[in-house]
Amino acid sequence: MPDTSQNEQKSEQPRRRQARGERRIAQLLSAAASVFCSTGYTAASTNAIAREAGVSPGTLYQFFPNKEAIAIELGDRLMHEMRDTYGEALAPVDPATPLEEAVGAAVDRFIDFNCAHPVFFALMHGPDVPGRMAEEHDALHATLLSRIEGLLSSYLTDAPPAELNRTAHMVLGIYKAGLELVLAHEGAEREAFVAELKNALIRYLRPLAEARGLTTTPAP
Amino acid sequence: MPDTSQNEQKSEQPRRRQARGERRIAQLLSAAASVFCSTGYTAASTNAIAREAGVSPGTLYQFFPNKEAIAIELGDRLMHEMRDTYGEALAPVDPATPLEEAVGAAVDRFIDFNCAHPVFFALMHGPDVPGRMAEEHDALHATLLSRIEGLLSSYLTDAPPAELNRTAHMVLGIYKAGLELVLAHEGAEREAFVAELKNALIRYLRPLAEARGLTTTPAP
DNA sequence: CCAGAATGCGAGCGACCACTCGTATTTGTC
DNA sequence: GACAAATACGAGTGGTCGCTCGCATTCTGG
């Protein structure tokens, strides 16, 4: 007997979505961002997310199979927006660009993004991420590291790979530490911490760049 | 920070403790350290701690009123040992001491302690600490900051207080970032990251120290 | 040696959480 | 308007976790 009405497509089920549904999804993701941001992933309850979005728990599960899928989708959308808006922030740069300029531009772009989307920091910094979230976390971390290595290789032309990797780790660590300080302050103080972060990175990197005989701008 | 060596509870009941009990407490704290270290505080279940210690859940609650008290006691003992062993690590130093030496000594001492007691980092770094743990966290943070400020004031004699505070925040942030990298590696790589952390801190601070006595950046 | 205190046990209680299900309402299409 | 699919609801389900309680066992002072 030909079963035309029910075709088992376990991998892809093109569920017809109405405009109302898309709106709900955006609403739920926004609510989830808010809750994740204030309590972290594990401590955030799906009921709290639904309440924040003004819907019932059942409605939430109409659009997401489980709690993790919410964070995954949120992370994917943030990554996508980050690529769209700041995709070139860490692209290999003209070696003639002064180190100060390259660091300053990269820091400004990433700080802007993280300030506009504090959830990103919350999701990527918390050690309380289960299963697939951890994979995404590691993937982003690896991506950032290799991008930083690419940037650094313009300035540290003949450093051994192990040293380059260590320096990239340290640069990312310093950035994360600075980001935490920046997010913890506002207004003029925030700006001061941004400048301090740039200083820390530039002072850390300049001796390495100078040792390779590359041009850096002297302090004006 | 007030010394809470004696219980100020409503009824002073000095429960007589046998040697067996003291042994159990140490056993339970060691098990808790292990579990906290691998899963974090919130994800750690009291049953898992009891199982790790080879006792029943009821026995655990014979010695600790609740889960938080385990972490508190663990933190207190670690703090005590830290004060005993490394109390002078951040004491004000002779201004004649070279910056490199002061930073290197302080980093070595703290890295040693944190490597010997990885729970300390796990408890102090996780954002998943409830109620009274957060207070201890903040208290330690403030103590470290003021100690760092004290140290820095030997080298930045005429920096405005706000700048001194910002620099101390940044130094602590860089240290924490470096500690994370150090704990994530072993052997020769670990040593390399320790050296890298010292480099980062020294390069960040040296320009400030060299500028002492000179006019600070003009105020806007 | 023997009361009583300290220690030890583990099934179980209440609370909370991720998630489900039967049902009611809205929306798109003919 | 009719019909089905999509959306919405919220009490309920199973499971986990922090913690308790009654009772057995071991230690200690007199």
**Domain ranges for chain B:** 19-64, 71-210
Q: How many CB atoms lie within 10 A of CB A112?
A: 14
Q: What is the pLDDT of residue B92?
A: 64
Instruction: Work out the pLDDT band at A2, boundaries 50, 70, 90.
Output: very low
Mean pLDDT, to the nearest integer, of A95-102?
Answer: 86
Task: Report residue A150 as tokens.
Answer: 């690419």
Residues 8-47 of B with CB under 7 A from strand C: 15-18, 20-22, 24
Instruction: Decide if pLDDT at B86 tops 90.
Output: no
The average confidence (pLDDT) of chain B is 86
CATH architecture of the domain formed by A71-211:
Orthogonal Bundle (1.10)
Query: Is the domain covering B19-64 a CATH 3.90.1300.10 domain?
Result: no
Instruction: Work out the pLDDT band at A85, boundaries 50, 70, 90.
Output: confident
Return d(Cα A36, Cα B86) in angstroms, integer. 38
Q: Report the range of poorest mean pLDDT among A30-44, A106-120, B8-22.
A: B8-22
Instruction: Work out the pLDDT band at B10, boundaries 50, 70, 90.
Output: very low
Q: CA at B62, C1' at D9: how many angstroms apart?
A: 45
Return d(Cα B40, Cα B131) in angstroms, integer. 16
Percent of chain A with pLDDT strictly greater than 70? 85
Q: What is the pLDDT of residues B50-71, one digit of tens each?
A: 999 999 999 999 999 999 999 9
Task: Report residue B29 as tokens.
Answer: 């704290």
Amino acid at B204: Y
CB atoms A42 and B128 under 8 Å: yes
In Å, the largest CA–CA distance within chain B is: 67
Mean pLDDT, to the nearest integer, of A45-52?
Answer: 98
Q: What is the pLDDT of residue B96?
A: 78
Q: What is the pLDDT of residue A6?
A: 38
Q: What is the pLDDT of residue B219?
A: 38
Instruction: Decide if pLDDT at B2 tops 80.
Output: no
Mean pLDDT, to the nearest integer, of B35-39?
Answer: 95
Specify whether the CB–CB gap between B79 and B114 falls below 8 A. Answer: no
Return d(Cα B57, Cα A174) in angstroms, integer. 42
Instruction: Work out the pLDDT band at A5, boundaries 50, 70, 90.
Output: very low
Q: Tell me the chain A residues in contact with residue B178 when contact means C-beta distances shorter than 8 Å.
A: 170, 173
Percent of chain A with pLDDT strictly greater than 90? 66
CA distance A100 to chain B (A): 14
Q: What is the pLDDT of residue A42?
A: 93
Q: What is the pLDDT of residues B153-198, one digit of tens each?
A: 888 888 899 999 999 999 999 999 999 999 999 999 999 999 999 9
Q: What is the pLDDT of residues B97-153, one digit of tens each?
A: 888 999 999 999 999 999 999 999 998 887 778 888 889 899 999 999 999 999 898
Q: What is the pLDDT of residue A220?
A: 42
Token look-up 């910002």 returns B166
Amino acid at B220: P
Q: Name the fold adopted by B71-210.
A: Tetracycline Repressor; domain 2 (1.10.357)
Q: Tell me the chain B residues in contact with residue A160 when contact means C-beta distances shorter than 8 Å.
A: none
Q: Report the range of poorest mean pLDDT among A49-53, A126-130, A174-178.
A: A126-130
Instruction: Work out the pLDDT band at B36, boundaries 50, 70, 90.
Output: very high
What is the Cα B15 distance to its own chain's centre?
30
Q: What is the pLDDT of residue B207?
A: 87
CA distance A151 to chain B (A): 18
CA distance B25 to chain A (A): 28
| Residue in B closest to A164 by C-alpha | B196
What is the Cα A121 distance to its own chain's centre?
7
What is the Cα B152 distance to its own chain's centre?
19
Q: Is A164 left (phi over 0), alpha (psi -120 to 50) or beta?
A: alpha
Q: Burial-class residue B108 by CB neighbours within 10 Å (0-12, 13-18, 19+).
A: middle
Residue A89, CA atoms < 13 Å, CB-side half-sphere: 19
Q: Is the dihedral of CA B97, B103, B105, B109 positive or negative?
A: positive
Closest by CA position to B198, among listed B69, B124, B111: B111
Q: What is the pLDDT of residue A13?
A: 55
Q: CA at B22, C1' at D28: how many angstroms apart?
A: 16
